[in-house]
Each structure stands twice: as structure tokens, then as C-alpha cells.
Amino acid sequence: MKNVTITLICVLFVPLIGFSQNKDSALSKKELRKNRPTYRGISLLGLGVGSFRDFATSPLIYSGLSLSSSRFQIAIDKHRETEWGSSLTIGLFGNSFNDHTSSSIVISPAIYYSELYELRQLSGDKLNVKVGGLLSITSNIRINEGLLNNATGFELIPTLFGSIKGTLDVSRKTERTKKFLFFKYKLDKRKKSLALRLNTGLVNSSYRNGYVYSGQSFLLNDPQLFDDYQFKVFSGFRMSSSLDYTLYSRKTTNAVQISYVWDAYKTGGNLDKFEMAQHALRFTLLFNTK
Amino acid sequence: MRKLFILVLTIVPFLVSCETALFEEDLATTDANANFEYLWNECNEKYSYFELKGIDWDAVKTEYSAMLFEDMTQDSLFNVLGGMLTELRDDHTNLISNFNISFFGTQYLGQDNYYGRLIEDNYLAQSFYISGPFAHDFLDDGQIGYVRFASFPGTVDDTNLDFVLDRYKDTKGLILDLRENGGGAVSDIFKILSRFVEEKTLTHYSRIKNGPGRNDFSEAEPVYVSPSNGIRYTNKVIMLIDRGTYSAGSFTALATKALPNIVLIGDTTGGGLGLPNGGQLPNGWTYRFSITQALTLDKRPDFEDGVPPDIEVLFDFNDLTRDEVLDRAILELQ
């Protein structure tokens, strides 16, 4: 726990260093923005595992598998990175304990926007470090028939993160010949990168049900979708990370990316906390548009 | 690629440790005391009718916790927890396992007041109509319409209601039989009642638990019924009720107290005017209990113990050719 705390403190303060540095580029900001390479990323089949618990309805942890797809646009160069996108994750989670099994379908749409700036003090030819922020809004629609009138649950988790991203150039600069058993093969020059991004929630908000979870609007002959919900601006904690291995095409400017994405959060307060964690492996096609 | 593997091997354990720190401990347990405490506390902080029913929930805890013992079977634990919930005298309160379901049984607070086959044999033609959830036909030489509504399935629609009410538009009165109607979808209540009002009418109030104190409730919110744009019935309506008229059935009966053209005949309803809230125990069983209160126009929760009829009539099982409750309704409309 002590290590986690130290890491969090570092992540929180690193963005301040990034924003305070001087920029001495020969190109104007407008020219830099105009020339920044832009990619569209499409991931159609991400595989994930995860778990959640909603104390409002159950003290039990539900675990399961999920499939996800995502779509994003990223404008990136060594000085700045702007990304926005959306994802949809559908999972089947269950709890089996004491000969009782219950399951929950969880549908999680999310949108996000991120800005990162180079941290020159830590950047070099091989390693590029950027810091900045990420605004993410994740929602969960949960269906658990066993909970009767509480069968459908919903929460919205908006988070403003402080982010740090390190990108390592692992390109193969020269051709190499290798041998596997009796087979010889040649490895061509290849542009590749390995990036690790860590996000820590600075403003963790939640939009959740009220005290008894159910609302009474339909008893009032005035049904409302988010009946008795409460928005809490500072509530809980969230962390997420992604590890991206990007392999650029030899013939085009496109790329493929394999990512391991982790996201974990909990809402705050003493009552009816919600906890969720997801690990996902994603395969993304990156199309260079500029 | 080797660097990637090294990174993964370093990061994943770190993230998993973060996750472990983030999540609270796993509370799954079959321990009798832990499950008892959890259920008692959930009710203690969220159940809505302790005061009205004069239930000393602390005394209930003392009484039932004394029944727990080490290594008790699941069946024995179920009987203790289920027994504790039946102290709430509420059929919106159940403990549900995969081998038993606990219940109170408000219908047993009064005698059986309905015998469906008798009505079919002695009052209706064999060719009675079935329009969605409504079974209906003419009575008393076509002067009265009889509509049997056995549950609130959530499927009541304008087509059903327009057809039924159009068929009986020229009758002197309509009998809506809600005896042994155990309830269901609340939306059906308002669809039906909207056919019997000519202007927006305040029928009752509702409030919901919003804190752990036993009297922590939201403000009483008004409940209105507005007239439907479809066919409306303006002549006298008799609604038949009994102890088996529960939940949405009781809500309907409660609302009629504000509608002068509807008269309740039969026995007191079973109550069930609180919205049941579902949850799960640490051992995987599920439970539900009421978390709201429906209030009368003078903002009292008294009808949770049953909505009384305007005219009390009980079925006589010594004569299985007549339905005394239905006969009284026909008499009222003649």
C-alpha cells in the first residue's frame, strides 16, 4: 500500500512539471498542430476479465468475461498528443457461492478525451515522456434478474485523470538474420514502439442511485429514468493504465497495436459503494489519415 | 518483444496489487451470525413500516439471534432468517433460497372470498370474452358489465381498454373484480384508473426511505391520475376486493377512495403498499422488503394493513351456486 501511495503522489505532481516547461520549437504552434500525424484506431474484438461489487444490492463480488470494441482518433508527435474516442464493453459476470449462482450482464459505454505534452527533462532519442490529463466518462448498465425490483442498475463514473505516458522506441534499425531450429529467417528494419500510460483520478465523480437504490417515480405515475439519483463530484478513487505495443507497416503509414488495458474504480462514502476492475487485451488497427 | 514481456511481468502484479487495495475484502460467507446481522441491519435501515406495525425490531433481533447456533444447517438458518422477516407481517417481504422461500401470507388474515369457477358456471356465458388480461361479459340481462382482472401483468394497453369499455358503454354500471389479484406492474394501475376520471385527480401520496433512521423518509409526493384520451367510463363502477387483493391491487383500491364514482365491495385488501426492494445476503440468498409508504389523502400510512371496502360482504361457502360479493355488487348497480 505504501508503494501505491508513493506512485500516486508522483503521478499527481508530474503533470505540473510538464506544463511549466518552455517551448523552443522553430515551428509555430499552428504549424505543429497542422503537421501532427493523425491516426484513426479501430478495435473490434477486445477480450477482458473483470469483477465488480455493488454494495447497494449485494456484498458479493461478481467476476466474469467481457468483449469490447473501441474507436478513437489520435494526433501524435513527440511534443504533443491529443486523443478522443469511445468504447463499448459487454460482459457477463457471475457469482457462485454456497450452491447459489447469480449472474449479471454489464454493458459499459464510455467516452474520453486526452491531452498530453512532452516532458523534456525525461525525454530523449529513445524515450519520450508526456504528461497531461484525461477526461473519461464511463457508464454501466447492469441487469441481474435475481435482484427483483432492483434488477436493472446504472451508474455513471466521470473522472478527470492526471496522466503520464512513456513511449520507448524499440524500432529495428538494421536488418538481422536469425535461426530457429533448422530454419533461418530475416528480420527487416521495422518501426516499433512500446508505450506505457498510467492515469490516476484527480477528480473522481459518480452519478449513482439514492439511499435505497430504487426510485419511486413510477409509483407517482411520473416514471423517470434516473429517479432519485445523486451526483457526487468528489467521490471515490480511480486508476487506469494501458500498455501499447505498436508495429508500423513497412509499406504504408498504418500500424497495428496490441494493448493491455486496466481500469479500476470505486465510488466513495460509507454507504452503497460500487467497485469495479477490468483487464482487457485489445487488438487495434491504426489508419494514418494525415 | 523481450522488453514487452518484461514490462508486462512488472506491471501486471503492480496493477493487481492496486486492485486488491482498492476492493474491500470479500464478504462471502455462510456464517450464520454474519448473515443474520447483515439481513437484520438491511431491514433496520431500509424497511418502511416499523412504526405503523408497532414492530420492535431490536426485540426481534434479541429473540431470533438466540436461535442461532454453531454448525446449524442451511435449512435451520433459513427458518431463523425467514421467521425474522415474517415478523414484519408483509408479503412484500421474502427470503429466497434455491430450496425455500419465506412468506407471511396476508390472504390468510381473512377468509377466502373468491371462487372463480362458480362465476363462470353460474354468472357468465361460456363464450365470455378475453381481451388481453381482462375476462369479461354482460350480467343482469346486459345491464351490467363484469370484468375479471386477475393480475397486473404490465400488458394493459389502450386497445384492450377501448374494446372493453366500448362494449359496456351503454350499461348501468361496471363491476371490476380484483379479488385474489396479487398485483404486478404499477403502470397498469394508472392505465386502468385513467379511464374512470374526467379530470386530473389527486389520489394519494407516496414517500421513500432516504436515511437509516426508522422515520427517515422523503417528502410525501402527490400521486395524480389524469383522464385518458381513449374511451372513458363515466357510470358507476364497483370494484371487488378481498384479502388476496395485494400490492398493485391494493394501490388501485387505495386510489379509488379519491374517485367518487368507484365503490369498493368485499373484504379488506392484503395491503402491500410499499415498493419491495431486492438484495443479496453474504451467503448468496436473496431477500426483499418494502422501502416506500403509500399515504392516504390526509398523509397517513394506515392502509398498509389493508384497504377497507366501502361495503363489507363475505362469500358464503355453504352455497356454491351464488357469489354473495358479486350479488351485492349487482344489487348496488340496479
Interface of A with B in 97-126 (CB under 8 A): 97-102
**Low-confidence winner among A192-196, A224-228, B35-39, B105-109 (lowest mean pLDDT):** A224-228
pLDDT digits (tens, 9 = 90+) for A273-285: 999 999 999 999 9
Model ipTM? 0.91
CATH of the domain spanning B32-105: 3.30.750.44
Give yes or no for residue A17 having a pLDDT over 50: no
Mean of pLDDT over chain B: 95
- What is the pLDDT, as a whole number, of residue B18? 76
The 10 Å Cβ neighbour count of residue B221 is 16
Question: Do B291 and A146 count as a contact with CB atoms less than 8 A apart?
Answer: no
A219 DSSP 8-state letter: G
Q: Which of B100, B216, B280, B295 should we substitute to test contact with A (largest number of A Cβ atoms within 10 Å)?
A: B280
Three-state DSSP at A94 gives strand
Say whether residue B125 is in contact with chain A using an 8 A CB cutoff. no
3-state DSSP assignment of residue B61: helix
A-contacting residues of B 232-271, CB under 8 Å? 251
pLDDT of B236 strictly over 90:
yes
CB contact under 8 A, A220 and B30: no
Tell me the Cα Rg of chain A. 22
| DSSP code at position B281 | -
> Is the pLDDT higher at A6 or at A143?
A143
pLDDT at A15: 46
C-alpha to C-alpha distance for B64 and B195, rounded to whole angstroms: 48
In chain B, % of residues over pLDDT 90: 90
Q: Is pLDDT of A14 > 50?
A: no
Residue type for position B14: F
B40-62 tens-digit pLDDT: 999 999 999 999 999 999 999 99
> Please, what is the end-to-end C-alpha distance for chain A in angstroms?
44
Task: Give the residue-averaged pLDDT of A188-192.
Answer: 88
Q: If 0-12 CB within 10 Å is exposed, 13-18 middle and 19+ buried, where does residue B117 land? A: exposed
Q: Among A251-255, B233-237, B311-315, where is mean pLDDT lowest? A: A251-255
C-alpha closest to that of A216 among B305, B251, B192: B251
- Look up cell 499527481; give the residue: A12
Least CB-CB distance to A221: which of B26, B209, B224? B224
pLDDT at A25: 53
Q: Which of A59-63, A93-97, A175-179, B135-139 has the lowest mean pLDDT?
A: A175-179
> What Cα–Cα distance (Å) separates residue A254 from each residue in A37, A68, A165, A231, A287?
11, 22, 21, 42, 5
The predicted structure's pLDDT at residue B306: 96
Which residues, in sequence order, are CB contacts of B300 under 8 Å at separation 6+? none
Percent residues over pLDDT 70 in chain B: 98
pLDDT in tens, B75-98: 999 999 999 999 999 999 999 999
Q: Work out the angle between the directed axes of helices B57-65 and B32-46 (0-180°, nearest 10).
A: 170
What number is the average pLDDT over the span B213-226? Answer: 96
The CA–CA distances, whole Å, from A16 to A117, A127, A162, A272, B175 equal 11, 20, 10, 34, 75
**Residue B59 CB neighbours (<10 A):** 10
* Confidence class for position A290, pLDDT limits 50, 70, 90: confident
- Cα–Cα distances (Å) from A59 to A273, B179, B229, in that order, read 10, 39, 47
Q: Which CATH architecture has domain B108-195+230-271+306-332?
A: Alpha-Beta Complex (3.90)
In this predicted structure, what is the pLDDT of residue A6? 45
- Given a cut of 80, whether residue A213 has pLDDT beyond it is yes
Considering only CB atoms, which chain A residues are within 8 Å of B46?
211-212
Q: What is the pLDDT of residue B5?
A: 67
Residues of A in Cβ contact (< 8 Å) with B30? 98
**Rounded Cα–Cα distance for residues A46 and A39 (Å):** 19
Asked whether the beta carbons of residue A237 and residue B22 sit closer than 8 angstroms, the reply is yes
Are the Cβ atoms of A57 and B283 closer than 8 angstroms?
no
A4 band by pLDDT with thresholds 50, 70 and 90: very low
pLDDT of residue A185: 85
Let me know if domain A35-288 sits in CATH 3.40.50.10490: no
The minimum CA-CA distance between A51 and chain B, rounded to whole Å, is: 10
pLDDT reported for residue A16: 45
Q: What is the pLDDT of residues A245-275, one digit of tens each?
A: 999 998 898 999 999 999 999 998 877 899 9
Q: Is B146 exposed, middle or buried (0-12, 13-18, 19+ CB in 10 A)?
A: buried
In chain B the beta strands, taken as DSSP E runs, fall at 94-96, 129-131, 134-139, 144-149, 173-177, 201-208, 221-225, 236-241, 262-266, 276-280, 286-290, 292-295, 311-312
Over the stretch A87-111, which tens digit does the pLDDT of each residue have? Answer: 999 999 999 999 999 999 999 999 9
Rounded average pLDDT over B220-245: 97
Q: What is the pLDDT of residue A254?
A: 95
- Chain A positions touching B190 (Cβ under 8 A) are 221
Q: What is residue A26's predicted lDDT score, i.e. its pLDDT?
A: 63
Residue A21 pLDDT > 80, yes or no? no
- At B101-152, the pLDDT tens digits run 999 999 999 999 999 999 999 999 889 999 999 999 999 889 999 999 999 9
